[in-house]
Amino acid sequence: MTILVTGGTGYIGSHTATALLQQGYDVVVMDNLCNSKAEAINRIEKITGKRPAFYQTDMMDMDGMRSIFRDYKIDAVIHFAGLKAVGESVQQPMRYYYNNITGSLQLFQVMAEFQVKTIVFSSSATVYGMNNPIPYVEGMPTSATNPYGYTKLMIEQMLMDIHHADPAWNVMLLRYFNPIGAHESGLLGEDPNGIPNNLMPYIMQVAISKLPCLNIYGNDYDTTDGTGVRDYIHVMDLADGHLKALDYIQKHPGLEVFNLGTGHGTSVLEIVKAFEKASGKKIPYQIAPRRAGDIAAFYADNTRAVNLLHWQPKYSISDMCRDNWNFISKNPNGL
Ligand code: NAD
Ligand code: UD1
């Protein structure tokens, strides 16, 4: 089977492409490299011994996408490509709506032209909004608070409508919680541009002294130690979730929504301690005001994915910190 991985040189896409190749799938990667580097393809080859086909193509370029579908008989698409920085989406809403929504729509149009009707989409826990009780369950009402979140909601809706109009479409909506960790080889990992917004990439920059100190956004939340609680999941467990989703959809055509999280919450201070232990480095921190838009705590109810996909996250928080440290210490300047 040949899988087109959009966004396949990015963080989650590159780890998933590796897992797909190791599982015997043929992989074609498409990415415009706006937030990643072609070096990821070399790293994927180093790990797997197989080099995926790579197209530096933008979702805005329909003819470019058509030539991929002409060159390869694609059986399914795993769609990671998109812009993902929440704060930036508030500053640049048009860019986010254009890239994520128009881009995805064009991809789906090209898929339809070539009769490719199986898609796994990278959605996010952000679609649960601010008001649901925890843990989050797939059937809960969805909402958004920023343009990035609206793009996820809208793409989910587009795929639901496409499936409704033509049930031959097989759609997997995977809602990721907080992916961290890196490939155990140290060859692949998260390599964000500029100053990171998310917790683990920030801690990694502090650990290698590129940034002086972590700001912990609030220690007065109603959580065990007052700091924010999230459901951190190892990126290789997430990659495995995509393999299980592909297996499932071949046996059970239709549309499904799955949470991919561990079902456990970990606080910011617990992450800092776990990282210090895994790396042997001190992470200086200071308590800063709460970050606008943050909520105290959320984590997944992953029962559906565990029961239906037969997926079980394997990695602990200390494994995640070990692999992040291994990656950043081997690649202090990224890929
Ligand atoms: P990433 O930025 O590392 O990967 C996304 C890739 O898409 C990048 O390589 C980028 O160059 C590419 N891309 C963006 N716009 C494109 C376009 N128009 N045409 C072609 N390629 C384009 O991000 P990631 O963390 O690997 O996230 C992958 C997907 O998962 C995204 O859709 C993201 O919204 C979603 N997601 C991520 C997280 C997270 O915390 N990392 C959580 C939930 C959901
Ligand atoms: C991010 C996304 C969200 C997505 C979720 C799961 C943002 C703003 N939001 O949120 O859309 O649904 O991942 O993929 O990117 N923290 C600090 N100091 C820092 C950075 C973070 O204390 O420098 C804290 C935060 O307040 C939070 C926790 O660490 O409590 C995790 O933050 P982050 O990694 O940004 O993820 P989310 O806020 O969950």
Q: Residue 216 — φ and ψ, nearest 5°?
A: -95, 120
Asked if the bond preceding 133 is cis, omega within 30° of 0, the reply is no
Give the closest ligand to the alpha carbon of residue 59.
1
Q: Is the pTM of this model over 0.85?
A: yes
Q: State the pLDDT at residue 192.
A: 81
pLDDT tens-digit profile, the chain (335 residues): 999 999 999 999 999 999 999 999 999 999 999 999 999 999 999 999 999 999 999 999 999 999 999 999 999 999 999 999 999 999 999 999 999 999 999 999 999 999 999 999 999 999 999 999 999 999 999 999 999 999 999 999 999 999 999 999 999 999 999 999 999 999 999 988 889 999 999 999 999 999 999 999 999 999 999 999 999 999 999 999 999 999 999 999 999 999 999 999 999 999 999 999 999 999 999 999 999 889 999 999 999 999 999 999 999 999 999 999 999 999 999 99
User: How far does residue 230's CA lie from ligand 2's centre (Å)?
Assistant: 8
User: How far does residue 163's CA lie from ligand 2's centre (Å)?
Assistant: 32
State how far the alpha carbon of 102 is from the alpha carbons of 65, 88, 192, 315, in Å. Answer: 14, 18, 24, 36
Longest dimension (CA), the chain: 56
125: buried, middle or exposed (CB in 10 Å: 19+, 13-18, 0-12)? buried
Side chain identity, residue 312:
Q
Q: Say if CB 69 and CB 61 are below 8 A apart.
A: no
User: How far does residue 54's CA lie from ligand 1's centre (Å)?
Assistant: 16
159: buried, middle or exposed (CB in 10 Å: 19+, 13-18, 0-12)? buried
| Residue in the block written with tokens 């998260």 | 190
Q: Which DSSP helix (H) or strand (E) runs through 164?
A: helix 147-165
Q: Which of 174, 210, 230, 231 to mutate to test the pocket of ligand 2 (most atoms within 8 A of CB)?
A: 230
Catalytic residues: 148
Q: Would the CB of 229 count as within 6 Å of ligand 2?
A: no
Atom of ligand 2 nearest to the CA of 196: 23
Helix (H, G, I), strand (E, B) or coil at 70: helix
Q: Would the CB of 178 count as within 6 Å of ligand 2?
A: yes
Q: State the pLDDT at residue 153.
A: 98
Q: State the pLDDT at residue 194.
A: 86
What does the chain come to in residues?
Answer: 335
Helix (H, G, I), strand (E, B) or coil at 105: helix
Helix (H, G, I), strand (E, B) or coil at 278: helix
Q: Say if CB 122 and CB 12 are below 8 A apart.
A: yes
Helix (H, G, I), strand (E, B) or coil at 184: coil
Helix (H, G, I), strand (E, B) or coil at 62: helix
Q: State the pLDDT at residue 144.
A: 96
Sequence-distant (6+) residues with CB within 8 A of 81 are 6, 7, 10, 13, 30, 31, 32, 59, 103, 107
